[in-house]
């Protein structure tokens, strides 16, 4: 095992009290003594035992993330890894541990209760909120500080969240396509139980309405966001009697599927047909360069992770700072995948 506070104190001829205070920056310890303690600690590679420390202080110094993995659709959200990377960075810098719990999605409530009762975490981040998500009320009732990545409509009580402006994004993207003369615009969305997908559809519908276009149910799809889903959506829609001239995709993965579907039909993006996607800036799917492949509404999910973590740490430190909210705007980047409608 490693060296303990008591051992360190003994080796210095000091009491544990003094050593503790010296290392934690309390004023009532002689500067010379402090220096001596700090050097000895560094030399002995002393690190206070996390569990003992948090038992004594009552703070867990850890943040929990619960990831539900449904047994039906076994999708692990690809966005998750980058979000975690961002958040983890901030936790580490602030001396917090990140604990992940993978649970079957019917055991999520139990997972939160358990984390709370065992005192394993000081707060949690809620992932993938649905349109009317009961988890928010449950967490509020539990009294565990939490922050939602996204939002959930239909919950009236205020809560803390960080979200991107999904509605505005897709409104703007749709508008952009309309300005190019497109009137047959397809929406290839994520599952609409998810709050973000619902908001995106609202943005899309709003822009259509503003342009005097009647939405066509044949041009709207929702499903788990995989590559083949995008492929099939593109192939099938393009064969409609009155096919779309533009596509709005909910993620890069789906957009790649759409691209493949369209080029299999001999269509070239930007010339024959337009595609706009949302781009989370996943590191292995960079959409940059002089002219990005896709025109996209862009927002770094990594940065979202960082901000979410900072907000939650603040909530933990000062619980009475009230619900914190942040709405991140996306940018519309011009790529090679859009152009005027082909007549």
Partner DNA sequence: TCACGTTCCCAAAACGCTTTGGACGGGCGA
Partner DNA sequence: TCGCCCGTCCAAAGCGTTTTGGGAACGTGA
Size of the site for a copy of itself (CB under 8 A): 64
Among residues 47, 65, 45, 184, which one has the least CA distance to residue 120?
Answer: 65
Stretch that binds DNA, among 16-24, 78-86, 88-96, 220-228 (CB under 7 A): 16-24
Going by the DSSP 8-state scheme, the letter that residue 337 receives in this structure is T
Nearer residue to a copy of itself within complex by CB, 64 or 203: 64
Phi first, then psi: give them for residue 331, nearest 5 degrees: -110, 150
Q: Is 85 in the site for a copy of itself (CB under 8 A)?
A: yes
Binding residues for a copy of itself restricted to 276-335, rule: CB under 8 A: 282-286, 289, 293, 302
Binding residues for DNA restricted to 49-78, rule: CB under 7 A: 49, 52-53, 55-58
Q: How far apart are CA 14 and CA 38, in angstroms?
A: 13
Structure tokens at 41: 């600690």
Among residues 235, 246, 243, 191, which one has the least CA distance to residue 218?
Answer: 243
Q: At what angle do helices 108-117 and 134-142 cross, to 10 degrees?
A: 10
227 binds, among a copy of itself, DNA, none (CB under 5 to 8 A by kind): a copy of itself
Structure tokens at 129: 């909120």
Q: Is 14 in the site for DNA (CB under 7 A)?
A: yes
Residue choice 11, 24, 283, 331 for contact with DNA (CB under 7 A):
24
| Cα–Cα distance list, 288 to 4, 21, 337 (Å) | 51, 51, 13
Please report the sign of the dihedral spanned by the C-alpha atoms of residue 151, residue 154, residue 155, residue 156.
positive
Q: Is 67 in the site for a copy of itself (CB under 8 A)?
A: yes
What separation, in Å, do the N-terminal and C-terminal C-alpha atoms of the chain show?
A: 75
70 binds, among a copy of itself, DNA, none (CB under 5 to 8 A by kind): none
Residue choice 11, 17, 70, 331 for contact with DNA (CB under 7 A):
17
Q: Is 11 in the site for a copy of itself (CB under 8 A)?
A: no
Q: Answer whether 256's CB lies under 8 Å from 284's CB.
A: no
21 binds, among DNA, a copy of itself, none (CB under 5 to 8 A by kind): DNA
Among residues 315, 303, 281, which one has the least CA distance to residue 90?
Answer: 303
Residue choice 220, 259, 296, 316 for contact with a copy of itself (CB under 8 A):
259
Stretch that binds a copy of itself, among 114-122, 235-243, 311-319, 326-334 (CB under 8 A): 114-122
The neighbouring-strand residues paired with 333 are 296
Q: Is 224 in the site for a copy of itself (CB under 8 A)?
A: yes
Q: Is 1 in the site for DNA (CB under 7 A)?
A: yes
Q: Is 114 in the site for DNA (CB under 7 A)?
A: no
Q: Is 84 in the site for a copy of itself (CB under 8 A)?
A: yes
Among residues 140, 126, 122, 85, which one has the least CA distance to residue 314?
Answer: 122
Q: How far apart are CA 195 and CA 131, in angstroms?
A: 4
Q: Answer whether 184's CB lies under 8 Å from 243's CB.
A: yes
CB of 312 to DNA, least distance (A): 21
CB of 34 to a copy of itself, least distance (A): 21
Q: How far apart are CA 211 and CA 303, in angstroms?
A: 34
Q: Contact positions toward a copy of itself, by CB under 8 A?
A: 1-2, 45-52, 54-55, 60, 62, 67, 69, 74-78, 80-82, 84-85, 87-89, 91-92, 97-103, 113-114, 116-120, 224-228, 253, 256, 259-260, 263-264, 282-286, 289, 293, 302
Q: Contact positions toward DNA, by CB under 7 A?
A: 1, 4-6, 13-18, 20-21, 23-24, 28-31, 33, 46, 48-49, 52-53, 55-58
């Amino acid at each position: 095992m490693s060296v303990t506070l008591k051992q360190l104190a003994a080796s210095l001829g000091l009491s544990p009290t003094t050593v503790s205070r010296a290392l934690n920056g309390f004023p009532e310890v002689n500067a010379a003594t402090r220096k001596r303690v700090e050097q000895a600690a560094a030399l002995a590679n002393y690190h206070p035992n996390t569990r003992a420390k948090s038992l004594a202080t009552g703070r867990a110094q850890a943040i929990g993330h619960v990831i539900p993995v449904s047994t039906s659709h076994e999708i692990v959200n690809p966005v998750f890894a980058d979000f975690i990377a961002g958040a983890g960075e901030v936790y580490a810098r602030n001396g917090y541990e990140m604990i992940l719990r993978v649970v079957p999605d019917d055991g999520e409530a139990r997972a939160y209760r358990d984390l709370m009762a065992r005192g394993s975490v000081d707060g949690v981040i809620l992932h993938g909120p649905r349109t009317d998500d009961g988890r928010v009320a449950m967490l509020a009732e539990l009294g565990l500080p939490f922050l939602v990545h996204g939002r959930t409509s239909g919950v009236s009580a205020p809560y803390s969240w960080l979200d991107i402006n999904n509605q505005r994004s897709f409104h703007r993207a749709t508008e952009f396509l309309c300005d190019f003369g497109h009137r047959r615009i397809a929406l290839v969305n994520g599952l609409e139980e998810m709050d973000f997908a619902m908001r995106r559809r609202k943005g899309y519908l709003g822009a259509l309405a503003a342009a005097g276009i009647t939405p066509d149910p044949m041009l709207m799809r929702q499903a788990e966001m995989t590559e083949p889903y995008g492929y099939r959506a593109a192939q099938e829609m393009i064969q409609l009697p009155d096919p779309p001239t533009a596509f709005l995709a909910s993620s890069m993965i789906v957009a790649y599927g759409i691209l493949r579907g369209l080029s299999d039909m001999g269509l070239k993006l930007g010339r024959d047909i337009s595609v706009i996607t949302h781009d989370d800036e996943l590191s292995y799917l960079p959409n940059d360069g002089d002219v990005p492949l896709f025109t996209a509404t862009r927002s770094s999910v990594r940065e979202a992770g960082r901000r979410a973590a900072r907000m939650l740490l603040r909530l933990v430190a000062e619980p009475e700072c009230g619900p914190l909210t942040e709405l991140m705007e996306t940018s519309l980047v011009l790529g090679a995948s859009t152009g005027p409608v082909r007549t």
